[in-house]
């Protein structure tokens, strides 16, 4: 069997989210490649050094092209392949977009459908592609992978897909080498700050967190709130809220930080808060668990599904509920210890090995 894969998401410099997912699957496919199961990875540009090295059973095919790569250049390459001695049997797209035309069966992964819930967060051209190109992808695909039961339900709701066409395969999680680098520039003390990690954008619901922290800080003035992550779409309201309340020294917006500094924050925070209104999966909650950081989490979308019993949940639209849970978690040492122990067990449920195995098994069925 020969499996074709769109490897472009993995072939980027700074990998987050879908790029990490794509790279981990390529690494698994490389490990499992053999005489009876071969892989051809299609790319727009030559593979970066961190991608798996080619071998007789795992090869790269660079197909030059521009904006219309998946619409024209990739389909043309797949049609040409039908006349070669190494004909592809199935093609896998790890992220939403498949070749517009394909002579072989397709499988595609859909990560989330947040653009239906929060269309205002997307540029018009991106929103159009997400809605319409995803629709065409799932119509052409023989099977769709959803990264959570939440994403599966959304696919059935918005695209009216039959349940049997969708396979839920969770993202993996890999315990990182815990290299840390202490952050000294904000005078942070262990267990004297609350942490958020993620992109700064409206869907992350940071205004609720900031407002809840203002009231929390009146009762606990020794605490700070650390918001770590790159600027996303419509982030200015977050900065304005902090400035309006003169909280520059209490609420620290760190911007993007190196991994070893983020690791230090996880290890030293009193607890981690994830107030998001929508997540297709939610990797930061698993990161927090892996660093023995208790999780206080929104009850929205896939987050309860991923966190399980290893977190405390709140209504993400109710500031008072969030404040109440923050106060409880700050005071209850025993509760925090219980969450840490549950988190250690929960992260064992997720692994890239399991994700890779289930994905490959599905590909082999076509």
Q: Specify whether 146 is located in the same domain as 166.
A: yes
Q: Nearest to residue 161, comparing CAs of 138, 128, 195?
A: 138
Q: Specify whether 217 is located in the same domain as 327.
A: yes
Q: Specify whether 164 is located in the same domain as 213.
A: no
**pLDDT score, position 186:** 86
Q: For residues 357 and 29, give the distance between their C-alpha atoms in angstroms, rounded to a whole number.
A: 9
Does residue 149 lie within any of the structural domains?
Answer: yes
Does residue 180 lie within any of the structural domains?
Answer: no
User: Which residues span the domain enclosing 228?
Assistant: 193-349
50 vs 6, 184, 263, CA distance in Å? 16, 31, 22
- 11-33 mean pLDDT: 90
Does residue 60 lie within any of the structural domains?
Answer: yes
**pLDDT score, position 249:** 79
Q: Specify whether 291 is located in the same domain as 145.
A: no
Answer whether residue 244 shows pLDDT above 90.
no
Number of domains, the chain: 2
Predicted confidence band of residue 178 (pLDDT cuts 50, 70, 90): low
Does residue 187 lie within any of the structural domains?
Answer: no
Does residue 355 lie within any of the structural domains?
Answer: yes
Q: For residues 40 and 2, give the distance between their C-alpha atoms in angstroms, rounded to a whole number.
A: 7
Q: For residues 158 and 351, give the distance between their C-alpha atoms in angstroms, rounded to a whole number.
A: 29
Q: Specify whether 226 is located in the same domain as 273.
A: yes
Predicted confidence band of residue 171 (pLDDT cuts 50, 70, 90): very high
**Residue 323: Cβ within 10 Å count:** 20
More confident of the two residues 66 and 189:
189
**Lowest-pLDDT range of 134-138, 189-193, 254-258:** 254-258
**pLDDT score, position 215:** 94
Q: For the chain, what is the total number of helices (H) and then of strands (E)?
A: 14, 13
Residue with tokens 């950081």: 293
- 60-81 mean pLDDT: 91
Q: Specify whether 40 is located in the same domain as 85.
A: yes
First to last CA, the chain: 10
Answer whether residue 145 shows pLDDT above 80.
yes
**pLDDT score, position 283:** 85
Predicted confidence band of residue 200 (pLDDT cuts 50, 70, 90): confident
For residue 14, give the 3-state DSSP assignment. coil
**pLDDT score, position 294:** 98
Answer whether residue 248 shows pLDDT above 80.
no
345 vs 99, 247, 248, 338, CA distance in Å? 40, 37, 37, 11
Q: Specify whether 151 is located in the same domain as 23.
A: yes
Q: Specify whether 110 is located in the same domain as 223.
A: no
**pLDDT score, position 84:** 86
Compute the CA torsion angle 183, 184, 190, 193 (nearest 10 deg): -80
Predicted confidence band of residue 199 (pLDDT cuts 50, 70, 90): confident
Answer whether residue 88 shows pLDDT above 90.
yes
CATH number, position 104: 3.40.50.2000
Give the 3-state DSSP-derived string for 193-215, with helices as H, strands as E and coil as C: EEEEECCECHHHCHHHHHHHHHH
Q: For residues 148 and 283, give the distance between their C-alpha atoms in angstroms, rounded to a whole number.
A: 12
Contact 59, 40 (CB under 8 A): yes
Mean pLDDT of all residues in the chain? 91
Which helix (H) or strand (E) covers residue 236, if one does?
helix 236-244
Answer whether residue 16 shows pLDDT above 90.
no
**pLDDT score, position 234:** 61
Q: Nearest to residue 8, comparing CAs of 133, 95, 77, 66?
A: 95
Contact 4, 30 (CB under 8 A): no
Does residue 186 lie within any of the structural domains?
Answer: no
Q: Specify whether 219 is located in the same domain as 158.
A: no
Q: Specify whether 16 is located in the same domain as 107.
A: yes
Most confident range (mean pLDDT) of 112-121, 166-175, 289-298 is: 289-298
Does residue 153 lie within any of the structural domains?
Answer: yes
Q: Specify whether 23 is located in the same domain as 164.
A: yes
Does residue 83 lie within any of the structural domains?
Answer: yes
Predicted confidence band of residue 256 (pLDDT cuts 50, 70, 90): confident
Residue with tokens 């540029």: 123
Q: Specify whether 273 is located in the same domain as 136.
A: no
């Amino acid at each position: 069997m020969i499996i074709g894969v769109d490897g472009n998401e993995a072939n980027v410099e700074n990998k987050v989210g879908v790029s990490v997912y794509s790279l981990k699957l390529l690494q698994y496919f490389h490990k499992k490649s053999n005489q009876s199961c071969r892989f051809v990875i299609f790319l727009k540009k030559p593979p970066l050094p961190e991608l798996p090295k080619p071998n007789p059973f795992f090869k790269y095919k660079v197909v030059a092209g521009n904006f219309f790569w998946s619409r024209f250049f990739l389909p043309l390459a797949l049609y040409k392949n039908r006349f070669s001695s190494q004909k592809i049997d199935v093609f896998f797209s790890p992220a939403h977009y498949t070749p517009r035309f394909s002579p072989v069966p397709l499988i595609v992964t859909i990560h989330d459908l947040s653009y239906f819930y929060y269309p205002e967060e997307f540029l018009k051209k991106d929103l159009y592609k997400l809605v319409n190109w995803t629709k065409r992808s799932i119509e052409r695909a023989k099977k769709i992978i959803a990264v959570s039961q939440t994403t599966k339900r959304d696919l059935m709701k918005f695209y009216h897909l039959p349940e049997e066409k969708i396979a839920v395969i969770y993202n993996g999680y890999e315990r990182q080498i815990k290299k840390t680098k202490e952050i000294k520039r904000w005078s942070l003390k262990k267990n004297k700050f609350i942490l958020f990690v993620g992109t700064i954008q409206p869907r992350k619901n940071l205004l609720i967190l900031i407002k809840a922290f203002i009231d929390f800080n009146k009762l606990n003035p020794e605490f700070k709130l650390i918001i770590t992550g790159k600027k996303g779409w419509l982030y200015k309201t977050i900065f304005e809220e902090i400035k309006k309340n003169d909280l520059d020294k209490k609420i620290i917006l760190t911007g993007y930080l190196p991994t070893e500094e983020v690791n230090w924050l996880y290890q030293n925070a009193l607890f981690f808060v994830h107030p998001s209104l929508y997540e297709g999966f939610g990797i930061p909650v698993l990161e927090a668990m892996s660093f023995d950081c208790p999780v206080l989490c929104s009850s929205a979308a896939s987050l309860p599904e991923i966190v399980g019993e290893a977190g405390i949940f709140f209504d993400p639209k109710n500031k008072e509920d969030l404040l109440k849970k923050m106060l409880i978690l700050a005071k209850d040492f025993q509760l925090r210890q219980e969450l840490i122990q549950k988190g250690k067990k929960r992260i064992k449920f997720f692994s890239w090995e399991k994700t890779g195995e289930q994905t490959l098994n599905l590909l082999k069925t076509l």
